[in-house]
Amino acid sequence: MVFSIVGKPTPRVDGFERVTGRAKYTGDIQIPGMLHGRILRSPYPHARIKNIQTAGAEALPGVKAILTCLNTSVQWSSGDSSNKRYLFNNPVRFAGEPVAAVAAVDKYIAEDALELIEVEYDPLPFILDPQKALDEGAPRIHSGGNLFQGKPYLYERGDVEKGFAEAELVFEDTYISKLVINAQTEPRVSVASWEGGKLTVWASTQGITNCRADLARDLGLPLNKVRVICHYMGGGFGGKNQAQDLDLIAALLAQKAGRPVKLELTREEDYMGIHGRWPTTQQYKVGVKKDGTLTAITLKGFSGLGGYSKGPFRPGAIAGARELYRCPNVKTEVYPAYTNVLCSGNYRAPAYPQGIFGVESFMDHIADRLGIDPLELRLKNFTTSGDGTLPYTTNLLEESIREGARRIGWKEKWHKPGERMVVPKKHGIGMAIGLFPSRVGMGAAMVKVNADGSIHLLAGVTDIGTGAKTVMSMLAAEAMGVPLEKVQIISGDTDVTPYSVGESGSRTTCFTGQAVLDACEDARKRLLAVASRMLKVNAEALEMKEGRISVKGAMEKGISVEEVAGKFPDAIVGAGLTDVQIEEMARESFAAHFAEVEVDADTGEIKLLNYVAVQDSGTIINPLTAGGQVIGGVVMGASMALTEELIYDKATGIPLNPNYRDAKVLTHLDIPKIEPVFVEKPDPFGPYGAKGLGEACITPSVACIANAIFNATGIRLKELPLTQDKIVIHSS
């Protein structure tokens, strides 16, 4: 298909507003009479609250409303997928859990008021380690026990016993990943205002409609009495799905005070109060033939959920062992456990980068032990069907691996581990493969063709930083045959825009994008019907392109879209509601990543030198924003691989480094050139052939860097993050 807009690198339609500071983010919202909220958080990882005295805080001039578990029994339903979670719980289950909230005339008074709230705690025994949380006699965090829903996640295909019997060699090892935080630029923030019985919340959310549904459910309001607005967002990465507790708290404070309330988390609160990526312990056993053919894979895994199971979909899962290889015999059992630490929830490809770190590190290790080039091991075994049965809609893993190898110079650069030295640096190269499903559904859109031919595109998306506004506009412009400038997108307001599941699950381009095309098709049909009457030609004989409707093959016999639309005082409206789910096929986005590192032989200093990320995401609608997503995914993965971890003090259960500085999110100076590469083959089910992208691109990155470090040093680090001290200790 020949496109005029799709596939062209296109700057963001809202880029100017974003970089000039004119874009109004949630934190910029000011409403006359607005109060400021602050949250008091538990200093204990597990404690029963015996009493709360708020009299002192209430007496502080400027304080307008105080909420605690004593006067608020509102549930936060999206805060836990299997237990009742209230806004203020008793007992509290992690250090940082909200205990009370204050609204005051400014945030400093609100903060002073927090100091005046007297909470009497009865500290309870606590447990930080997921595996130990399942031991008999471990402190019980929920009445149903510490194992999420009382049973592990099980998956099995083939017969692993048979597979191990067929194996010529069997390897076993354990890999460990740590709790890391989404760390998006914009801290979570909410502004709530009531007018009559209607609540408006300016949220920083990845899904306005889900946020609205949660608020309505938890506050007992009909959907049409809740409006959620989010026009600009500074990143979410899964951390801003659904309604957060602060959205509800802001709404309740505003209701109680009778004035609008802004509640903005500090960076520390944003780190220690909401959720991060679940930490895992992964015990693998892999059977293999000497030629590298995999015969069996088993995984026994443990993951830490924190005090509540916040992820809406299989929290604590560990992906990779089941998905990456066409090994016929696979068995995984994963035990998600409650712990007294910050919750784990969705974070960019929730179960994948940590799981793939384990699987792909281990495959790299096995290739080394077999004396096989790790790239060849992948080419020999990579997945060719979903769960061993479902054919993929498209799968360019092999092309991705070969293209990446060519670009990084694998043949020339790969060597036996620890054997290439450019004194005093050891050089290493590594690779890993990854994937992420493209199947979180439902999208809706409306297209209005105005009387002057200009177009309003209404889409329920929030542009969380991915460039969704731009991509949706490009799809509409392409479908309607108009220049991009003719399309004005309206998004991020539940009173105005149609439904979207939320900008998560790598779904926006695929699903809302398809809805945009359907809405355009609907509008096009209506335009053609009108034109048909005007031209006195059968509608089937007409086509619409370059802003004109004309008889097929005869552009001169036609009229402009403006003339057709101008027949109506307002607009011709087209609508699309799409849920493209395919049962009989698997739809995945694939990735093959390659990294070069150098490691100082004396000091263990690790430096990332070069990175090539090859993605199979079908047709790329906007290479510019798509490239940005890939670079961002790799940076997050590199950070998780090399430095990041939220560290808890074991004696007190308090997080020690809840901030950018100490949790060590990588900086620009740590990031080398990252080359995003797209191998494109249109997916038969996506809009113009698109598949998902935003999450597939982080999935192999952690393993890829770990493998490059192994190739440089010969040291296999099995516990994240792969910090310099660990290299030093292993070397000495």
Partner 1 sequence: MKSFRQIQARSTQEAASLLAEHGPKARLIAGGSDLLHLMKARILTPELLIHLKTIPEMGSIREEAPGLRIGALTTLRELETHPLIRQRFPLLAQVASEVASPQIRNRGTLGGNLCQRPWCWYFRGPLFQCLKKGGSTCFADSGENKYHAILDGGPCHMVHPSDMAIALVALGSKVKIEGYQKERTVPLEAFFLKPLQNLLKENILEPDEIITEIHVPQPSPQGKTVYLKERERRSWDHAMVGIAAILAMEGKTCHHASIVLSGVAPTPFRAAAAEAVLKGKEIDEGMGLKAAEAAVSSVRPLRHNAYKVQLAKALIKKAVLAVL
Catalog residues that contact partner 1 under the rule CB under 8 A.
43, 95, 108, 111-112, 115, 266, 268, 602-605, 642-643, 647, 649-652, 654, 656-657, 661-662, 664, 666-670, 723-726, 728-729, 731-732
> Closest approach of Cβ 719 to partner 1, in Å?
13
Q: Quick one: 1 or 651, whose CB is closer to partner 1?
A: 651
Exposure string of 586-613, with b = 16+ CB inside 10 Å and e = fewer, is bbbbbbbbbbbbbbbbeebebebebbbb
Residue 84: CB atoms within 10 A of its CB come to 12
Judged by CB, which is closer to partner 1: 272, or 445? Answer: 272
CB 327 → partner 1: shortest distance, Å? Answer: 36
Question: Of 394 and 643, which CB lies nearer to partner 1 in the complex structure?
Answer: 643
Residues 6+ away with beta carbon under 8 Å from 631? 613, 674, 676
Q: Which is nearer to partner 1, 215 or 642 (CB)?
A: 642
Rounded Cα distance between 566 and 563, Å, is 5
Q: Least distance to partner 1 from the beta carbon of 262, Å?
A: 17
From the CB of 599, what's the least distance to partner 1, in Å? 13
In whole angstroms, the minimum distance from the beta carbon of 41 to partner 1 comes to 10
DSSP string, 226-286: EEEE-S-----TTTT-S--HHHHHHHHHHHHHTS-EEEE--HHHHHHHS-EEPPEEEEEEE
Please, which residue, 536 or 668, has the CB nearer to partner 1?
668
**Contact assessment for residue 466 and residue 512, using Cβ atoms and an 8 Å cutoff:** no
d(CA 75, CA 85): 6
Between residues 266 and 283, which has the closer beta carbon with respect to partner 1?
266
Shortest distance (Å) from residue 96 CB to partner 1: 10
To partner 1, the closest distance from the beta carbon of 92 in angstroms equals 14
| DSSP code of residue 570 | S
Q: Residue with structure tokens 């439902």?
A: 442
CB nearer to partner 1: give 44 or 511: 44
Calculate the CA 542 to chain-centre distance: 43
Strands 226-229 and 198-203: parallel
Please, is 689 exposed, middle or buried when counting C-beta atoms within 10 Å of its C-beta (0-12, 13-18, 19+)?
buried
Closest CB to partner 1 among residues 2, 423: 423
Question: Shortest distance, CB of residue 601 to partner 1, whole angstroms?
Answer: 9
528 vs 608 by CB, closer to partner 1? 608
Closest to partner 1 by CB, 102 or 696: 102
Cα–Cα distance for residue pair 142/343, rounded to 1 Å:
14
* Least separation in angstroms between CB 732 and partner 1: 5
> 588 Cβ partners below 8 Å, 6+ apart?
323, 386, 392, 395, 435, 436, 437, 438, 691, 696
Give the shortest CB-208-to-partner 1 separation in angstroms.
32
Q: How is residue 390 written in tokens?
A: 């479902």
Q: Phi/psi class of residue 149: alpha, beta or left (left: φ > 0; alpha: ψ in -120 to 50)?
A: left
The residue among 168 and 649 lying less far from partner 1, judged by its C-beta, is: 649
Query: Of the two residues 550 and 643, which places its CB atom closer to partner 1 in the complex?
Result: 643
Q: Smallest gap, in angstroms, from Cβ of residue 65 to partner 1?
A: 21
What gap in Å lies between CA 89 and CA 290, rounded to an integer? Answer: 55
User: Residue 155 and residue 157: Cα distance in Å, rounded?
Assistant: 7
Alpha helices in 332-425 (DSSP H): 352-370, 374-381, 397-408, 410-413
We find the least distance from the C-beta atom of residue 271 to partner 1, in angstroms, to be 12
Helices (H) then strands (E): counts for the chain: 19, 30
Buried b (16+ CB within 10 A) or exposed e, 512-543: bbbbbbbbbebbbebbbebbbeebebebeebb
